[in-house]
């Protein structure tokens, strides 16, 4: 995928999410999508378009999830089980 077309009404929602969403990972994913929309390739975004390097496939997964479910596709589904904990020795 070399470009991403986003409708005008969805673009403003994505821009707002990239700036103000309470979850940092959603802000990162929205920013990646905006950069692809503006003409960067998935590979460029993955390698140098974000604060951390990501795999190109990871960015592609974000694009696919967004195309299928909109902004809701950028939010991780709840996971089952207990969160792991770290308990340092006393």
Predicted TM-score (pTM) of the model is 0.83
Residue 44 is predicted with a pLDDT of 94
What does residue 47 show for φ and ψ, rounded to 5 degrees?
-85, -35
HEC profile of the chain:
CCCCCCCHHHHHHHHHHHHHCCCHHHHHHHHHHHHHHCCCCHHHHHHHHCCCCCCHHHHHHHHHHHHHHHHHHHCCCCCCCCCCCCCCCC
Q: Where are the alpha helices (DSSP H) in 21-55?
A: 24-37, 42-44
Mean pLDDT of successive 10-residue stretches along the chain, which has 90 residues: 76 93 95 93 93 94 93 87 70
């Amino acid at each position: 995928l070399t470009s991403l077309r986003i409708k005008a009404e969805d673009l403003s929602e994505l821009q707002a999410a990239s700036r103000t969403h309470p979850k940092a990972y959603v802000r990162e994913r929205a920013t990646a999508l905006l950069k692809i929309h503006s003409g960067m390739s998935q590979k460029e975004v993955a390698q140098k378009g974000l604060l951390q390097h990501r795999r190109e496939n990871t960015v592609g997964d974000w694009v696919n999830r967004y195309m299928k479910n909109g902004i809701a596709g950028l939010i991780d589904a709840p996971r089952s089980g207990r969160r792991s904990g770290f308990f340092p020795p006393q």
